């Protein structure tokens, strides 16, 4: 790789994205080690800087093919990984006889919720890859962006609750109900935005097929 091409790849946006990816791996290591508060801080940093790499890439005209792949990949890894590991930690807490779960514990992220989140991301990524490969536009929609906000809120609130329960601290009703709202809004918007993408792909893919057949003639 030439120095010019290397400088295009190793630009500030891609470096920030790579750091976010490394942070996600650290978070995945900290959660099973029960270092919840540190994992929470790192998650806030990784998720909160999601917009920075994209903003810098657009502002300074440093958009690269690597960045277009790596940025959404990091987003999905962070969310899917944390949802899965939190579901595991929640199961451990529920099975523990030393920890008393609060009443009305609707904040619990169950295994099936993690499956829904991961399955939705895999499906949408596959559809986006196919459509954009064939020249179509499959940009993120507003429900998809809201889904990310609710997912992050669910992760932050749940990790904070797990940390409090693990240290035998009381969970306030405000934190309980706020986190519960984020968890269920995350699930609902995950499913809803996924259905929107599926509907859009049903309309787009036949048009791409027709265009390919026309160009081939």
State the Cα–Cα distance between residues 89 and 143, nearest whole angstrom: 28
Ranges of H-type helices in the chain? 3-9, 12-30, 36-48, 50-59, 65-95, 111-133, 142-166, 173-216
pLDDT (tens, 9 = 90+) of the chain, 217 residues, equals: 444 444 466 788 888 888 999 999 999 999 999 999 999 999 999 988 877 877 777 777 777 777 777 888 898 999 999 999 999 999 998 888 778 888 778 899 999 999 999 999 999 888 887 887 777 766 667 888 899 999 999 999 999 999 999 888 899 999 999 999 999 999 999 999 999 989 888 888 787 766 555 555 5
Instruction: Give the pLDDT of residue 72.
Output: 83
Instruction: Give the pLDDT of residue 206.
Output: 80
Predicted structure pTM score: 0.86
Instruction: Give the pLDDT of residue 1.
Output: 44
Map out the domains of the chain with their CATH numbers.
3-209 (1.20.120.1760)
Instruction: Give the pLDDT of residue 24.
Output: 95
Instruction: Give the pLDDT of residue 209.
Output: 62
If one counts every other C-beta atom within 10 angstroms of the C-beta of residue 93, the result is 18
Measured over all CA atoms, what is the biggest interatomic distance in the chain, rounded to whole angstroms? 71
- Assess contact for 41 and 59: CB atoms under 8 A: no
Instruction: Give the pLDDT of residue 2.
Output: 45
């Amino acid at each position: 790789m030439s120095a010019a091409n290397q400088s295009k790849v190793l630009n500030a946006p891609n470096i920030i994205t790579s750091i976010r990816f490394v942070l996600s791996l650290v978070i995945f290591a900290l959660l099973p080690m029960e270092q919840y508060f540190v994992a929470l801080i790192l998650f806030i940093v990784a998720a909160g800087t999601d917009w920075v790499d994209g903003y810098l890439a657009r502002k300074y005209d440093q958009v690269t093919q690597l960045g277009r792949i790596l940025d959404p990949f990091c987003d999905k890894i962070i969310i899917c990984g944390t949802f899965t590991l939190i579901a595991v930690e929640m199961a451990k807490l529920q099975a523990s006889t030393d920890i008393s779960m609060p009443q009305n514990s609707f904040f619990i992220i169950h295994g099936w919720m993690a499956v829904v989140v991961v399955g939705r991301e895999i499906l949408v990524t596959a559809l986006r890859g196919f459509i954009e490969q064939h020249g179509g536009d499959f940009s993120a929609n507003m429900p998809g962006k809201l889904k990310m906000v609710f997912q992050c809120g669910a992760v932050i609130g749940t990790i904070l609750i797990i940390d409090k329960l693990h240290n035998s601290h009381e969970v306030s009703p405000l934190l309980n109900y706020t986190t519960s709202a984020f968890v269920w809004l995350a699930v609902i918007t995950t499913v809803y935005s996924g259905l929107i993408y599926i509907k859009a792909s049903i309309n787009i893919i036949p048009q791409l097929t027709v265009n390919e057949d026309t160009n081939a003639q």
